[in-house]
Amino acid sequence: MYFGKKNAEEPVVEMVDTVVYSCESEACNGWMRKDFASAENTCPMCGSNLVEEVRELPKISNEYNAYR
């Protein structure tokens, strides 16, 4: 028998060090994952330069990119 505890367990989110481009502007908190950044290395929100840094972010499933 299956006595479901339906809401009991959330999936565990794995955190990974991820390279991101972060906006260099103090007034702007724009950033994007390097994997999803376009060739242009400027902030999509304000046009400032982006600087590369490492953040700890939830891992994205590879299924997301499976068909590109």
Q: Which residues bind Zn ion (CB under 5 A)?
A: 23, 25, 28, 30, 43, 45-46, 48
- Closest separation in Å from C-beta 40 to Zn ion: 13
CA dist 37 and 22 (Å) reads: 11
CB of 58 to Zn ion, least distance (A): 22
Report how far apart, in Å, the C-alpha atoms of 9 and of each of 4, 5, 6, 13, 14 are.
11, 8, 8, 12, 15
> Please, which residue, 10 or 26, has the CB nearer to Zn ion?
26
CB 31 within 8 A of CB 20: yes
Decide whether 18 or 25 has the Cβ nearer to Zn ion: 25
CB of 8 to Zn ion, least distance (A): 41
